[in-house]
Structure 1
């Protein structure tokens, strides 16, 4: 009589391969992206893994990691590509010379996949932590940022210095070049047709920095 096949689930190997494929994305971000409870993902990725997670959960994790089930479960075949892919959220927020919007209820439109190599070469970052894409509207920042350009923000940088920032001022979400003054900020449009603005005194308290603009993906 043939021996019974070994059906024990390799929880340790599964967890190790999943962590490898997920890096550098955080568990919270990954769980939200694939629609699984954070506690479930954390348990699967814990030391020792779990004894046989549901097949639908495994399939969803494999799809989210962009790896095959054979590799994730059994370690067979190719794992993640040599260049790790990170996913950056894109929101339905518009940064404009005029009216805009930015709030905690902003709608997630999609995740934009970028390789770590591209992210580092183009924007000087290796992690997607704190990054977000939003759309620009208007021509006040041309040629640096064109109308409908996809602006990459680093929301972890909120202390202003001489660079391009997205910000809220009097309820409007905007993007301008900051120049620090001794008693305030000058907001500069790269398009010379738009005059510079000065924010000083009480107006500074109405300005909230959203994040530094790292770069923009633009249509030709």
Structure 2
């Protein structure tokens, strides 16, 4: 179902002009832009002519495909393209929510160096699915996996959904671990006396312990709650 965004206080003509401006910036014809956003050209024309408010599904598709922020399309305020600091969710009426994907990688191996995080797009998740697992979209991010220490649970190129509010390791759970300038995806277990045990799915990678009382260079980024891994 194509669910429209409420346009109270918003100018449909201005919204349409911004959609056209986005297409022009991307050097897309109206037909091309509509096709890549998953709507008929007639719907695109209705949006850009100010006859209809764009649907939440359209705004989500435009964000996912082009990185154009729904907040900018609707209001003209703030940045046009997404950044880590400015990501906005699509309209609440949608049954799906876009979780931002960040330009970082969690290594299932020796470690991936990451100094900056910038949103480069997103993946859609069912709101009902997230709610059934007690997950708040504002606490979630999607990052890529590199390396092979978690094979066959996670392979290089998989994407993982990380809950950054869950930072207390539980035995048997996978977490994204920041160690120095590296991100790792590992099984983490908090032992007595502040010892963090770090292990891998791939038995070729040895288990090791970290004494958290002797370092401030280690932190738990969040728990891995889902992945795109194919079984």
Shorter-chain TM-score above 0.5: yes
In 1, the alpha carbon distance for the partners of 2:117 and 2:181 equals: 14
Work out the number of aligned pairs and report it: 160
2:154 paired residue among 141, 145, 149 = 145
Cα 1:128/1:180, change in 2 over 3 Å: same
Map of 2:208 onto structure 1: 197
In 1, the alpha carbon distance for the partners of 2:196 and 2:135 equals: 30
Which has the larger Rg?
1
Query: How do 1:81-100 residues align onto structure 2 when only pairs under 5 Å count?
Result: 84-96=95-107, 97-100=109-112
- Listed as ranges, the gaps of 5+ residues in structure 2 are 20-46, 48-52, 60-90
SS at match of 2:148: coil
In 1, the alpha carbon distance for the partners of 2:170 and 2:215 equals: 14
Cα 1:175/1:67, change in 2 over 3 Å: closer
In 2, the alpha carbon distance for the partners of 1:64 and 1:89 equals: 20
- Listed as ranges, the gaps of 5+ residues in structure 1 are 1-16, 20-43, 69-79
Cα 1:126/1:187, change in 2 over 3 Å: closer
Cα 1:63/1:210, change in 2 over 3 Å: farther
Q: Normalized against structure 1, the TM-score is what?
A: 0.62
* Aligned-CA RMSD value: 3.0
Map of 2:192 onto structure 1: 182
Map of 2:14 onto structure 1: 56
Q: Normalized against structure 2, the TM-score is what?
A: 0.59
Cα deviation, residue 107, structure 1: 2.3
Instruction: Determine whether 1:116 maps to 2:127.
Output: yes
In 1, the alpha carbon distance for the partners of 2:179 and 2:214 equals: 8
Q: Is the 8 A contact 1:116 1:126 kept in 2?
A: no
Cα 1:102/1:209, change in 2 over 3 Å: farther
Deviations 1:64-86 (A, max 9, x none): 61269xxxxxxxxxxx9x97011
Cα deviation, residue 216, structure 1: 1.0
Q: Is the 8 A contact 1:187 1:198 kept in 2?
A: yes
Cα 1:64/1:90, change in 2 over 3 Å: farther
